Structure 1
Amino acid sequence: MPETMLRSLVDDLASPDPAVRDDRAYAALARLVREGALGADARSWLAVEMLERLDHSRVEARAFAPLVLAALVSAGDFEPGWVEDVTRWYVAEPDLRGHDPVLGWVHAVAHGADFFGACGAAGVGDPAALLDALGLRLVAPTTSVWRDQEDDRLAYAIALVLTRDDVDEATAIGWLGHSRAMFAAGSPGPVPAEASNTMRTLRSLHVALDEQVLRDGEPVAVPHGEPVRREIASLLADVTPWFWRPRTACDGESSPLAEPAHPA
């Protein structure tokens, strides 16, 4: 591909026009990476450009950079420093809009999660660092309550990391410490946006771990899915103690409390 054309696509990836940025530039770049149409030097240049883009002054430009990095990871490119750079941006990103009526899809939370999920699926990067970044994004103070399935995208990224064989049980559960600390520090009153986002993300992950997590449309094992699910249930029970409680071994498969009431 001519260098001028590649540079033009990268420039357009920062456009505030969603038709230019999303429909044209990102779609073309992702296709070029996926189809192997870029040489090694071009892919290396593209990665550097995307890492620099994380410091752009406009959120729509920042938010699309990790999507391109995710495509590169899925195609077989990876440098350990990418995780550190994306984490620095991801945890601190203040603009968490999903879809904007003017800018179109911004989706910083979802796009950043896609990068970490791609690393998880590809088996690259330190899994503890990947999970920690996602856990920190959950609890970072914000005024934005997610509305465009950011919770599902983040939960999916966590699940993909958890499918890796190099994740031991301590690592699989450890990232939940951030959520536990946030819930423990809560006080009566309105629920902070980050707490609401965390609750919904954990519920999404809990459901997925009780079903079949998919990778490329096919079911994949989650080695420590059950202890993670139990830990999530414990966390969520603490914030809704009036609603339900985790089942224990002594409860058995059925409980008198669960039996329907019979008329006299």
Structure 2
Amino acid sequence: MTDWSRIEADDCAVPADRSLEELVRELSAALADPDPSVRDGAPYAVLSTWIERGVIPAPRRLALGDEMAARFLDPEIQARTFAPLVLDMLVEKGDFNSAWVAAFEQWYPAEQDLRGHDEKLGWLHAVAHGADLLDRFGRHPDVDPVRMLHLAAARLTAPTDHVLDQLEDDRLARAVARVLTRTDMSEHDATAWLDPIGARFGADRLSTPVPAHVTNCLRTLRLLYVLADRGVRPPGTDAAPEALHHAAAVKERVAAVLDRIVKR
């Protein structure tokens, strides 16, 4: 078994006595491991570094992306929810395959296990990890941003009994806000994705306690309103907030949708 902690400590240098292909296969398997110390520890750091530095050649990175896209159908929750993290690394590096977008689009709103953290499996973060990839795809020049906005709406309107925790709703709101910074969308494009949300929840007679999926939607849209008003920063930075394109129209539509939901 490879000592990934040792490799990480050695500035992620590739061991001379191992083939890179063998190591990448092992890393791919580690990112689906049910042991969080394996999945979310040194193997994650090493893989991220090797992708960033171009240690893994482009053809192998594309094959790795195909493996992650197929993993959206994996029966194990931790395998499904760590796949978008690897795809995010690859797309950031410059790799892209439209089939990855299609696979993600099928998985994201359909995922039913929305736990942020599990005592045994560790971090799962289906919504948050998916939001990070939605952000990445939504700002990619080969992906229609409207497609990702409607995907966010599909995730928000998908029925669930789980109230999002571990800032999952915040991550989704920030991802949507980042997509909305694109300047190649019309005002209609930037706001029409909210119509299905208003139609879906505005038609419901809210009971008490409020259903989980309605709570999740309300919290996500409330933060989106703030971000439309103040701008959104790139993740993990103190950079100046970037303004959303058509911010005023987005605020107006979000406010109208929120009002339509809560007034019932």
TM-score w.r.t. length of structure 1? 0.87
How many residue pairs are counted as aligned between the two chains?
A: 242
**Pairwise mapping of residues 179-198 of structure 1 onto structure 2 (< 5 A)?**
179-190=197-208, 191-198=210-217
Report the Cα distance in structure 2 between the residues aligned to 1:204 and 1:61, rounded to whole angstroms.
29
Question: Are residue 132 (structure 1) and residue 150 (structure 2) matched?
Answer: yes
Q: In the alignment, what sits opposite 1:147? A: 165
Question: Are residue 27 (structure 1) and residue 29 (structure 2) matched?
Answer: no
Among 90, 108, 116, which residue is 1:90 paired with?
A: 108
Q: In the alignment, what sits opposite 2:62? A: 44
Q: In the alignment, what sits opposite 1:200? A: 219
Question: Post-superposition shift, 1:212?
Answer: 2.4
Cα offsets for 1:100-138 (capped at 9, x unmatched)? 111110011111111110123343411111111111001
Question: Post-superposition shift, 1:84?
Answer: 1.4
**Pairwise mapping of residues 98-137 of structure 1 onto structure 2 (< 5 A)?**
98-137=116-155
Report the Cα distance in structure 2 between the residues aligned to 1:226 and 1:34, rounded to whole angstroms.
37
Report the Cα distance in structure 2 between the residues aligned to 1:124 and 1:113, rounded to whole angstroms.
18
Report the Cα distance in structure 2 between the residues aligned to 1:27 and 1:140, rounded to whole angstroms.
33
User: For the aligned residues, what is the CA RMSD?
Assistant: 1.5
Moved over 4 A (4+): none
Q: In the alignment, what sits opposite 1:226? A: 248
Partner SS, residue 27 of structure 1: helix
**Counterpart residue type for residue 203 of structure 1:** R
Report the Cα distance in structure 1 between the residues aligned to 2:114 and 2:101, rounded to whole angstroms.
20
Report the Cα distance in structure 1 between the residues aligned to 2:128 and 2:46, rounded to whole angstroms.
20
Question: Are residue 237 (structure 1) and residue 259 (structure 2) matched?
Answer: yes
Report the Cα distance in structure 1 between the residues aligned to 2:100 and 2:83, rounded to whole angstroms.
11
Question: Post-superposition shift, 1:187?
Answer: 1.1
**Using a 3 Å threshold, how does the CA distance of structure 1 residues 221 and 188 change in structure 2: closer, same or farther?**
closer
Among 219, 229, 234, which residue is 1:210 paired with?
A: 229
Question: Are residue 60 (structure 1) and residue 78 (structure 2) matched?
Answer: yes
Report the Cα distance in structure 1 between the residues aligned to 2:173 and 2:34, rounded to whole angstroms.
28
Question: Post-superposition shift, 1:76?
Answer: 1.1
